[in-house]
Amino acid sequence: MAANKIRVHCDICNEPIEFEVSQEKLNEQPSGILKVMLAHGAPLHAIIVYVDKNRRIRGVESSDAFQMEGTRAESFVSASDVSENLSEQMGEPCYQALYSFNEIKDREATAFVLDKTILKTICESGTICLSKIRQNVAFLEKALGDKIDLKQIESVCERYVQDGLIKRA
């Protein structure tokens, strides 16, 4: 099994982190994106890295608090805003609404429920990156009974960029 190192920068400890992922594992992912949780450093903290099939990092997220079973959460690692800053640095597309959701809602009255949810998320977030949008629309996976991947969300966003309702941030 071929495994190659991928390097990512952790904004919590400001250190480069290397990890290994096999191409087979990446190819196995039905959504095309592998999520890797990297726990490291002192105090121990973690980031989640989203890697696509071309070994490109599509996004990085971190939790606001880190706690291991059997320990007390005495020290929290503050990580607010880290994920979005990192996502932008990693080249992940971010979007910004050009209208309020009420204005868009009327215009897109017949748009599919997923598209409306994406638009609403963008309108309510100011600037938001692709992986964050995915988190916000994840509840629709259960409602629609299928998987909603980043590619699908990006394609909806790009269509609305062309329509002039949102813009790339």
Partner 1 sequence: MSFFRFRRKKDPARNYLNKMAIGLGAGLVYARDAILNPDFGPQGAMDVLSTWMGQEIAKELLTQKVITPTSSAEEVLEKLLEEVRIAEDLSIEMEGDVAHVVVQNCLICPRRVGGYDLEGHTACPVGGLVRGAIGLVSGKTPQLSKIDLKTGELCKTDFTLA
Sites of contact with partner 1 (CB under 8 A): 30, 101, 105, 109-113, 115-117, 120, 139-140, 142-148, 152, 155-156, 159
Output the smallest distance, CB 100 to partner 1, in A: 13
- CB distance 91 to 9 below 8 Å: no
Closer to partner 1 by CB, 49 or 104: give it. 104
Closer to partner 1 by CB, 127 or 152: give it. 152
Return the SS3 of 65. coil
Which of 94, 115, 97, 103 lies closest to 164 in space, CA to CA?
A: 97
- Residue 134 CA to residue 118 CA, distance in Å, equals 8
Which of 49, 69, 48 lies closest to 58 in space, CA to CA?
A: 49
Closer to partner 1 by CB, 63 or 152: give it. 152
- CB distance 133 to 58 below 8 Å: no
Closer to partner 1 by CB, 40 or 120: give it. 120
Output the smallest distance, CB 105 to partner 1, in A: 7
Closer to partner 1 by CB, 80 or 110: give it. 110
- CB distance 58 to 131 below 8 Å: yes
Output the smallest distance, CB 113 to partner 1, in A: 4
Output the smallest distance, CB 91 to partner 1, in A: 23
Verify cis geometry, omega within 30 degrees of 0, for the bond prior to 43: yes
Which of 148, 130, 146, 129 lies closest to 138 in space, CA to CA?
A: 148
Output the smallest distance, CB 167 to partner 1, in A: 19
